Structure 1
Amino acid sequence: MKLASRLLLTFALILCSAFLTTARADVTNAPGANLEVSLITYGPGDIYWERFGHDAIEVRDTVSGEEVNFNYGVFNFDEKNFFLNFARGRMHYLIDAEVTSDEENFYKEAGRSITKQRLALTPDQAAALRDFLLWNLRPENAGYNYDYYIDNCTTRVRDALDRALGGVIKARLTTLPGGMTFRQQTIRLMSAQPWLMLILDLGLGPYADQPLNAWQESFLPEELQKSLRNVTISDGHGGSQPLVQSEDLLAPQRLEVPPATPPDLRIPLGIAGLLIAGLLVLTWRRASLIYALLGNLFLLLAGTAGLLMLILWTLTEHHSAWANANLLLFNPLAFVLLRPLWRAHRGITLSRFANGALLLQLIALLVALLLHLLPGVVQQNQPWILFALPSWLALAWTLRRARHA
């Protein structure tokens, strides 16, 4: 990702080259027969926003040797209200263009892999793609509203290639099944940062668990790279040929490679839930102050998580977080029980209001469990059910015992 301040300068340099160079054409004005188009795929980086990888379209003038990379992954931290827009799901991204060697050197130094797939576009298709990318690079056309799964820096590259090829890529990939869901791909790629992985998994709603085809799953650079190997196009003589004419690894991945499959969170979160439940019961019997501190910590985290999930659903455009069934497990109702639990460790019985809040939470747990067991339910939140169920039951049991003490 590069800062958007380079955008106007890059565009100006590309346009100026057409006027400054009279002896030869360049990428901006070369005939289509001289243009070579490639998909460049970069491996994942260390920073959380780099974990999904990146890609670009390279346009090369075979006569002059000039190579320019076009990518859609530019954002600007200095943009007005950047973090507010990010929180509300209104992220603004831009297209950028840079000399290929400069771009490749950046990723090589970062230890990220670079793969080049040369694509079999006709001269007319290559020229049309080049013209579209230059048009898209104009300041008035450069920005777009970013979405993690359906409109990101890779889907923009995919759509530009598909547009130039007359819809061939989409027609083929929509017939092929995807390998994973949005959720599975997300936790797989974020597994190197466990806490962030868990937060994302908790915050994703049923949208992230819908079955995907290969077109939808190509929101990831790695998946788009693999999917293009399955696309064939006309060879102009009544036959067909592979879209990918050649594929070369220009630089190896020196950073840690993400696992091929997502981690199974059911066992660790289930064990964590049982451990919390055991500690609550044990400390309630033998160390009531620790019991109150541990219980209030759980309630505080549960209430905060629920409040954030509720905000994501009702006040933001993060549609992948809407209608999250985890709100039945963790919700602001937990805040109501903070004071009653603290009083309970001294043997003070629950008020009618607190007892009603506890009953509502237990009903919500039951609804979450039944929803998960019903056929046709999309959201896969088994790990969080396994975590929440023993924890809440232990809290309810200890609070009820305090009520009758």
Structure 2
Amino acid sequence: MQRFKFFICLLLIGIVSISNTQAKQLSEQSAVSLLTCSPGEELYSHFGHSALRFHDPLNKIDLVFNYGTFNFNTPNFYMKFARGKLKYRLAFSSYQQFLPEYIVSGQGVTEQILNLDLDSRRKLFQAVIENYKPENRYYHYDFLFDNCSTRIRDIIEANINGKIIYKENTDKPKNFWNLLDHFMEQSRWIYLGIHLILGSPCDIDASPYQYMFLPDNMMYAFADATVLNMDERVPLVSHTKEVLKPTLDYKMTEWYKRPGFIFGLFSLIILLISIRTLTSKRNYFIIDHVFFGATGIVGWVIVFLWFFTDHQATGPNWNILWALPFFFPVSNILLIMKNITSYIFFYTSSILLLIILATWPIIPQSLPNEILPIVTLLFIRSIYIIKKLKINLV
């Protein structure tokens, strides 16, 4: 109850604060800054964060706006989140309220003071206030194309005098995986999970402008950008300062905790069991009920994300070639029946899995190599089941 009262008080203070702010014009002493927060350990903070700060000591304004929040009390929250229908929203806090979260998490915060004339600062401030109105503050979040970074970039571009000119990128083009993998190299389970749920759209080359969906990349782009206004060209960023130094100690996942090692060890154990029991009377199909069933469930998750959500990056997803949805429950039923249909099913599956293994490097998607031991084991167990069924059918 005390926490609830405290939350209500903060909410009321915020409403009063933003209501009072709407009537104010930024003074000559005002400044607008892009705040870039370094990546954190939690999945939601793994790629960093962007926010927009308005500081005006004369009017006693020091507010931070960000587009990366959502309402946990939304009806059917988890289903809407999974289907990409959960609306994110613009939120604000005081600068003093903004920093403690990043101090606790060990994330760094870099502030870039934007080199904007007074009229641009005022226009941008009023645009953000307008955007905060209840009818405007919600939007459909898209991880790659419409997120907490791109929203800030877009509102700045639309409300300043002149045009922002970004430095031409002469480096080799990068696809979205090239951009994302840098943030996931040390957390191999997150790397695997993201590579399983996102599909071939991430293999498409991104334009340098699209690089800015990642907060760090937008910070780098702003640092090199200029504003062209009436034949005058000035740097977009007047100066940069490190508000908080990152203290988070990123550690590579220990080798024995990585999915590649764990899946490899698991596959080796099941392989040895398969060899040992191949000529015995017992079939040990309980392993396959669990193994093929779990793989099929992964396949159905891929189907759901591909065909039944609004996420642009989750389909087509060619992980479905090995995580065949009909493994669950079809394989479970056929393992119980143990008839000629079962034999044909697993014989066909073994051929498909062999083709997938042989063509793995040329499949038009960056499939995670950590999952190769699992795909190989699916093939081996398919052969095992065929051998066992053949004995029973003779």
TM-score of the superposed pair, with normalisation by structure 2: 0.83
Find the partner of 1:309 among 302, 306, 316: 302
Corresponding residue of 1:24: none
Distance 1:395 1:99, change over 3 A: same
Q: 2: distance between equivalents of 1:310 and 1:283?
A: 36
Corresponding residue of 1:352: 340
Find the partner of 2:61 among 49, 63, 66: 66
Q: Which amino acid aligns with 2:203?
A: D
Contact 1:43 1:112 in 2 (8 A): yes
Find the partner of 1:132 among 127, 146, 154: 127
- Secondary structure (helix, strand or coil) at the match of 1:131 reads helix
How far apart are 1:111 and its partner, in Å? Answer: 2.2
Q: 1: distance between equivalents of 2:205 and 2:265?
A: 29
Corresponding residue of 1:251: 244
Distance 1:275 1:318, change over 3 A: farther
How far apart are 1:321 and its partner, in Å? Answer: 1.3
1:14 aligns with 2:18: yes
Equivalent runs, 1:254-333 vs 2, <5 Å: 254-257=247-250, 268=261, 271=264, 275=268, 278-285=271-278, 291-333=284-326
Q: 2: distance between equivalents of 1:60 and 1:384?
A: 47
Contact 1:313 1:321 in 2 (8 A): yes
1:226 aligns with 2:220: yes
Q: 1: distance between equivalents of 2:317 and 2:90?
A: 33
Q: How many pairs were matched up?
A: 378
Contact 1:44 1:112 in 2 (8 A): yes
Corresponding residue of 2:377: 391
- Which runs of 5 or more residues in structure 1 are unaligned? 20-27, 260-264, 344-349
Q: Which amino acid aligns with 2:388?
A: A
- Which runs of 5 or more residues in structure 2 are unaligned? 1-6, 253-257
Q: 1: distance between equivalents of 2:232 and 2:211?
A: 28
Corresponding residue of 1:347: none
1:212 aligns with 2:206: yes
Corresponding residue of 1:380: 366
Q: 1: distance between equivalents of 2:30 and 2:126?
A: 12
How far apart are 1:281 and its partner, in Å? Answer: 2.9
Distance 1:184 1:108, change over 3 A: same
Q: Which amino acid aligns with 2:158?
A: R
CA deviation string 1:265-321 (max 9, x = no partner) = 996588468636633533434888694333332212211101111111221112211
Distance 1:288 1:235, change over 3 A: farther
TM-score of the superposed pair, with normalisation by structure 1: 0.81
How far apart are 1:386 and its partner, in Å? Answer: 2.8
Corresponding residue of 1:29: 25
Q: Which amino acid aligns with 1:52?
A: F
Corresponding residue of 2:331: 337
Contact 2:123 2:160 in 1 (8 A): no
How far apart are 1:198 and its partner, in Å? Answer: 2.0
Distance 1:228 1:17, change over 3 A: closer
Aligned-residue identity in percent: 25
Distance 1:290 1:221, change over 3 A: farther
Contact 1:35 1:127 in 2 (8 A): no
